[in-house]
Structure 1
């Protein structure tokens, strides 16, 4: 959270009125995470609220939060097999997300001139699983 605050504080006055800020958070922001991740959940939960407040304060600059579910990245490699099995049986999408899934959402949020102040959920259905 501190990183987002610092970057936005430094850059906000330099952004074009047609500019866009996209912030990321994980599904732990709204869905209880695994045991031992309460600090991650607390930090993640602060990002959507910060994004919504910024969308009002920085308007007409657009601010969107992209919320990610399980994504197949190196950080998940230690539990990849176990998580992949869970995703295949529990997620409506029946698979891990790929980095490209998030990249597409980020590009959409940056380019769409009518998207601001919201949370774009890219989670394969994790929030309803």
Structure 2
């Protein structure tokens, strides 16, 4: 577990440095390549290692954190979208952004419940 954490820190430093330099020089290709290379290194190491990287507790905490993050983000963008739509008379330029956020919220929650239904059927009752 310790070696994987060290590798993740090194990969994060590498990706962050390359992305920062890409922004500075104004080109996106090195940033995309750095992200892909970092993800590949992390995936290959995780696949080829014998050390225990995740246990049930980490998986359960990750599931709960992911669920609450999705729900809170969906609710937040739904309210922001609704607020922007309500301001359409004063700020008509933001109306489209409001509709976009509202539809994105609906799409995200729809995807969440589709996947919830699928995995509940696959692993659940």
Class of the TM-score when normalised by the shorter of the 2 chains: under 0.3
Structure 1 or 2: larger strand share? 1
Structure 1 or 2: larger helix share? 2
Compare CA radii of gyration and give the structure with the larger one: 2
Larger relative contact order (C-alpha < 8 A, sep ≥ 6)? 1
- TM-score, structure 2 length as denominator? 0.28
